[in-house]
Chains A and B, each alone.
Chain A
């Protein structure tokens, strides 16, 4: 039994799963780089037609 390989792979999988959760699900980046004073704008300009 190659314990070293098993532990290494466990560690890699653990880091990959944690990284995915923190980066893509919890979006931890948005809390570290505060954008709270940024005023968001729409990429689409809706035509302000008469209605």
Chain B
């Protein structure tokens, strides 16, 4: 028995201790003598072409990335980040403002484009952020999700954006770790993770071990992506002033009088297509309760606001409503919307809060259906944007 213990100690325990010490020494040696190779530099050059309109995502290639860079760089342009409300409506800001007031406005996004994806896109464009006119269209529905989903993240945060973030030394390591944390939590849902995805994953996994973290950073030789964009000249046609009150009233009356199928101020097409079941019965919408302290989307939204503040963006926010005629229990949203407003206000950004729980306060036509802005709602957004960025054009 005694011999067995002595053997175990001598031939296993002692070698294990010695090898652990040797490993630490070897890693220090490796870290010290590992040469940091400069990443391959990629310059994406081009011209901003869009002064109006919308881009659903950045999958069309480098030009859409340049449009984002150009719109942020062009301090006369308003860049709108939103989700499913970004459809083709005549009165949406990316058509109305350029066409009626000569204000360049371009929108980016579609459904599932939420705070964390926007955070990463803006981080990739860090060099263009100062004083950029950015408006974030917040949807209450975002808070019902578990934050940005991985499919949307991979769709919106393009490989070039990843490289732009990884090799930009002026970006705080904490922001890079946030991306690493998001990727680590979702790594099992990613098919064929790219080198940059694995880099962020490894960076987060080794965050508490400086030595490993240092080696990972040195081994990464990826690409350094930079954008060089020439901003477009404002060739939008000169136009007159807008009579906001009369235009808004006319649009609202037109919307209300066109509805024939319901009294919930929902467009006939949407009502019959999405809200009637097989037996043609209308079912009201329900809402969930929220835990504000653990809500993932709210945490990611905070991060987005922090980034906008840190990089001195000229940002503004619109909190969109839900239709109180359709949804029961909108009071469930009160706390989370109030917290969202608080985050915006404490960072000093202007905010248009359109969310209401009371039918008597809700303005018919603000939404075209149960959650997407209609022309009247868009006109309110237009008025807010002009008041915020171009008060002289009011």
Contact = CB atoms under 8 A, between A and B. Distances in A.
Chain A interface main SS type? loop
B205 A25 contact: yes
Interface residues of B, number: 54
A31 B215 CA distance: 11
Interface string A21-42: 1000111101100111111111
Interface stretch (B184-192, B250-258, B330-338): B184-192
B220 to A, nearest CB: 7
Contact of B190 (A17, A31, A42): A42
A6 B144 contact: no
Contact of B191 (A5, A12, A34, A41): A41
B311 interface: no
B190 A43 contact: yes
Given A21-B27, A51-B141, A10 B15 contact: yes
Contact residues on A (Cβ < 8 Å of other chain), bracket:
35 or more
Given A48-B111, A51-B141, A42 B371 contact: no
Given A27-B198, A49-B111, 15 more contacts: A10-B19, A13-B15, A13-B19, A21-B212, A26-B212, A35-B198, A36-B159, A36-B223, A38-B194, A39-B159, A40-B191, A41-B190, A41-B191, A41-B192, A44-B189
A44 B19 CA distance: 43
A9 B177 CA distance: 38
13 contacts: A6-B15, A13-B16, A13-B19, A25-B212, A27-B198, A27-B201, A31-B220, A34-B195, A35-B195, A36-B159, A38-B194, A39-B159, A42-B149
A50 B192 contact: no
Contact of A27 (B139, B202, B209, B223): B202
Interface string B189-215: 111111111110110011001001001
B14 A6 contact: yes
A26 B84 contact: no
B151 A46 contact: yes
A30 B10 contact: no
A42 B192 CA distance: 9
A19 B152 CA distance: 35
B379 to A, nearest CB: 22
Given A18-B23, A21-B27, A26-B212, A43 B189 contact: yes
Nearest to A29: B198
Of B20, B151, B206, chain A has the most CB atoms within 10 Å of the CB of B151
